[in-house]
Amino acid sequence: MTAAALAASALAMVSATVAGAPAQATPVPADPPGQVRLSDEDTITRWATAVAPGRVYTAPSSRARRIGRLRFTTEDGYPEVYVVLSRYRDAHGTEWLRVRVPRRPNNTTGWVAGRALSDLRVVHTKVVVNRRTLRLTLYDRGRRIFRAPVGVGKPSTPTPAGTFWVREKFRVRGNPLYGSRALGTAAYSNTLTDWPGGGIIGLHGTSEPGLIPGRPSHGCVRLRNRDIVRLYALTPVGTPVVIE
């Protein structure tokens, strides 16, 4: 066979291989068209807990990059809470839910298979913490129902900004530093916080009410004890917490 014939044969083999190769699947975008919004995190927020092991992906596809796993409990042993932002059903009929993920870095979102989460629950409340005015405001369906002065993080241990949520609520016993009530959030500090174990930003009472309003904390949001009792009663788990 001549050199020209060999070249032609090789070219034909390459062409046949390319033609017969399976087409590459188009990557699913992290924010795909057709998703249904489930939470505006203002007047309506839906949340769920994990009911089965599940991975968290950057896009609604098991071929997307994995960024973590669902967990069943918080660091304090309460059921872990995931705010559900939207729903998407892929070409195979699989339901995917976009969730806020309690982890560092703050404000991480990802996609999980819907079957891994519980039925969705709904809240209509929102907490806003203003670090400039040192005020906390609680809204219900957009209407202000509670307001109180707060203490936030020192400049060296700031309270982080972002959109978070209440993951757990519990009564505090035997430690007056935190008052009688506490709400754990999904905000994490890069420095030590007042929260047991460090790292988690909580809303809690105080044994030093004279420092409120102010910037006395290691990152947590402190309220006077009568105010944390009121906030605790009015704020359900799953409530968005906006720190601005």
Residue 192 in any domain: the answer is yes
Contact 43, 60 (CB under 8 A): no
Distance separating alpha carbons of residues 229 and 226, to the nearest angstrom: 5
Enclosing domain of residue 49: 36-122
Judgement on whether residues 181 and 103 belong to the same structural domain of the protein = no
218 flagged as catalytic: no
**pLDDT band, very low/low/confident/very high, at 175 (cuts 50, 70, 90):** low
Answer yes or no: do 112 and 129 share one domain: no
Same domain, 43 and 104: yes
79 and 136 fall within a common domain: no
Q: Are residues 58 and 131 in the same domain?
A: no
* pLDDT tops 90 at residue 234: yes
Whether residue 8 lies inside any domain: the answer is: no
Per-residue pLDDT, 174: 67
Q: How many distinct structural domains can be found in the chain?
A: 2
State the catalytic residue, choosing from 92, 124, 218, 220: 220
Is residue 131 domain-shared with residue 187, that is, in the same domain? Answer: yes
| Structure tokens that stand for 59 in this block | 């896009």
19-33, 81-95, 125-139, 196-210: which has the minimum mean pLDDT? 19-33
204 is catalytic: yes
Q: pTM to 2 decimals?
A: 0.85
Residue 135 φ/ψ region, left for φ over 0, alpha for ψ in the -120 to 50 degree band, beta for the rest: beta
β-partners of residue 113 are: 96
Q: Do residues 151 and 195 both lie within one domain?
A: yes
- Cβ partners under 8 Å of residue 159, min gap 6: 129, 131, 152, 153, 187, 189, 201, 217, 219, 220, 221, 243
Q: How far is 89 from 226, CA to CA, in rounded Å?
A: 46
pLDDT reading at 26 higher than 80 = no
Are residues 135 and 116 part of one domain? no
Catalytic residue among 92, 124, 204, 218: 204
- Are 236 and 131 part of one and the same domain? yes
Residues 151 and 61 in one domain: no
Q: Quick one: 152 and 239 in the same domain?
A: yes
